[in-house]
């Protein structure tokens, strides 16, 4: 008999989510797939070790037949996913959910991943938010007296569970924590899947942090198993895969192929993609990147990846969704106009490149995004002009720009302030006019690590040193509450100043800070 222990606290209405049947379903998923998950994570570590020794990724020779086969396509779009011109993202917090669902966006991505600090409270109340939104009982009056009510035609809900690399220590099965991916997915499908079908849509998901097609195959097998367990027809689930790792960029055809009866397309996860480059190749001098603000979507290696994504998707009948615009409305009219112009130009560039829609972080940006995509989709834009090469995808050394002291200071500021927000249970934080989440914090702390490792020259004079970084950290910590300074300093040191680059959420550095 299985030993199942729920160690997380029980809050109001948590029993509505953690029913015996729902927990048993999650345990069945974990029993079935925990072994393969562990094997794939081991393969990630082995591949990263090979990269450290000089190997570079390339298109896989043994899947060449999949890439060259013109006959296969993904499933046609499900109801609610045929038009994706503007998508809004955010954590499944009640107020933000109502604002996102009412924003006029085609899709709301309910994010249990980068925008959601994974406290047990956030994980379970997030599931309650989904249930209440689908049951239309999410309306409420805030303490300020403002009334939040769901509109008549809210956005389509798409859930992003946490990545394969994470576990959740709040459910222990036979002494081991369950997969966080399967927990988030399992609870959402069990409670909200049929609710979504009854409302004319379906159980839709975004899949984060995949590093290759075998991880997509695992998700597809999870979908088949889960649908069989719950009596849902195969193909009911649809999933959009974020291409946000450098290794996945070499396997986009294969990822679509593995998920083809469940695929809803690919998304260009731009911030995590840059982080992935640093994480895999940061120890190598030819992969040192300039200031984060200079690594735009038009630099050669980023353009190669996004153009290949559009070509791959449209060749297979799949939607190609553009990357995040993290700008927030600014109270200063002149600054706000400048920010909106940047967003408009970014989305118009994506539209010209052939994307079918894109992401924003705030309701005020939805119409700007939608206006850039005048048609419901651009699947007819086949982009046969795009020629994919490994050299193009790896052309990091062709990125223009320099490392500057203001750029270093901004990375320190973003990392310190995000760590502080994260320890408060906030996964999406407004910092310097941008909505920052774990992905941008990853880039910030990894660039600091990379520049330190290579004693990178500063355009302003001098080089990046530990003393310089520590001085910047000390000054940034003064803006935090006194009791928070040392915990944040410790996190910064663990995640940016270590001799070897740790993976943000897998080192356990955060686990003891989260109940």
Report the chain's C-alpha Rg in angstroms: 22
Catalytic residue among 292, 346, 437, 489: 437
Token digits of residue 206: 């975004």
- The CA distance from 38 to 209, in Å, is 15
Q: Which residues pair with 60 in a beta bridge?
A: none
- The CA distance from 320 to 305, in Å, is 12
Say whether 113 sits in a helix, a strand or coil. Answer: coil
Q: Is 199 a catalytic residue?
A: no
Those residues whose C-beta lies under 8 Å from the C-beta of residue 326, and which sit 6 or more positions away, are: 361, 434, 435, 436, 440
- The CA distance from 317 to 72, in Å, is 9
| Contact between 396 and 281 (Cβ < 8 Å) | yes
| Contact between 258 and 75 (Cβ < 8 Å) | no
Q: Which residues pair with 173 in a beta bridge?
A: 4, 176
- The CA distance from 391 to 397, in Å, is 11
Those residues whose C-beta lies under 8 Å from the C-beta of residue 261, and which sit 6 or more positions away, are: 74, 75, 220, 234, 235
Token digits of residue 38: 């562990």
User: Alpha helices of 432-465 — where are they, by DSSP H?
Assistant: 438-453
| Contact between 100 and 435 (Cβ < 8 Å) | no
The structure tokens 């970084």 sit at 469
Q: Is 437 a catalytic residue?
A: yes
Token digits of residue 405: 């002291």
Q: Which residues pair with 430 in a beta bridge?
A: 435
Catalytic residue among 85, 160, 270, 370: 160
Which residues carry out catalysis? 160, 437
């Amino acid at each position: 008999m299985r030993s199942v222990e729920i160690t997380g606290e029980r809050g109001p209405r948590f029993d509505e989510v953690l029913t015996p049947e729902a927990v048993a379903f999650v345990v069945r998923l974990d029993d079935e797939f925990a072994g393969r998950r562990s094997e794939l994570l081991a393969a990630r570590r082995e591949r990263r070790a090979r990269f450290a020794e000089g190997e570079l990724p390339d298109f896989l020779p043994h899947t060449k037949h999949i890439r060259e086969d013109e006959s296969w396509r993904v499933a046609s779009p499900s109801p609610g996913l045929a038009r994706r011109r503007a998508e809004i993202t955010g954590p499944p917090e009640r107020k933000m959910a109502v604002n996102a669902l009412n924003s006029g966006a085609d899709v709301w991505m309910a994010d249990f991943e980068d925008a959601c600090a994974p406290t047990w409270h956030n994980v379970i109340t997030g599931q309650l938010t989904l249930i209440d939104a689908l049951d239309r009982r999410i309306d409420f009056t805030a303490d300020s007296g403002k009334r939040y009510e769901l509109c008549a035609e809210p956005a389509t809900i798409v859930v992003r569970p946490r990545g394969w690399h994470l576990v959740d220590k709040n459910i222990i099965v036979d002494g081991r924590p369950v997969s966080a991916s399967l927990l988030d997915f399992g609870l959402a499908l069990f409670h909200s899947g049929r609710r979504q079908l009854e409302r004319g849509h379906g159980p839709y998901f975004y899949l984060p942090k995949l590093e290759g097609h075998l991880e997509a195959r695992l998700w597809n097998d999870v979908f088949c198993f889960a649908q069989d367990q719950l009596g849902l027809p195969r193909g009911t689930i649809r999933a959009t895969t974020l291409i946000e790792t450098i290794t996945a960029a070499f396997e986009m055809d294969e990822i679509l192929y593995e998920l083809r009866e469940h695929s809803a397309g690919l998304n260009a996860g731009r911030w995590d993609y840059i982080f992935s480059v640093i994480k895999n190749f940061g120890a190598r001098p030819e992969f040192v990147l300039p200031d984060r603000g200079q690594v735009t979507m038009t630099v050669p290696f980023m353009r190669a990846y996004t153009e290949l994504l559009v070509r791959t998707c449209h060749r297979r009948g799949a939607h190609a969704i553009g990357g995040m615009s993290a700008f927030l409305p600014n109270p200063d009219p002149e600054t706000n106009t400048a920010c909106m112009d940047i967003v408009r130009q970014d989305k118009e560039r994506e539209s010209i490149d052939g994307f079918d829609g894109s992401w924003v972080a705030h309701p005020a940006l939805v119409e700007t995004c939608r206006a850039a995509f005048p048609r419901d989709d651009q699947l007819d834009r086949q982009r046969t002009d795009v020629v994919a090469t490994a050299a193009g995808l790896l052309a990091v050394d062709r990125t223009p720009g320099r490392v500057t002291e203001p750029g270093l200071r901004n990375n320190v500021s973003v990392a310190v302030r995000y760590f502080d927000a994260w320890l408060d249970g906030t996964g999406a934080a407004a910092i310097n006019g941008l909505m920052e989440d774990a992905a941008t914090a990853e880039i910030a702390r990894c660039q600091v690590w990379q520049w330190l490792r290579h004693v990178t020259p500063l355009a302003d004079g001098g080089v990046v040193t530990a003393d310089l970084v520590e001085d910047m950290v000390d000054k940034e910590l003064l803006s935090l509450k006194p009791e928070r300074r040392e915990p944040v300093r410790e996190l910064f040191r663990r995640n940016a100043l270590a001799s070897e680059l740790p993976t943000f959420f897998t080192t356990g550095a955060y686990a003891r800070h989260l109940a």
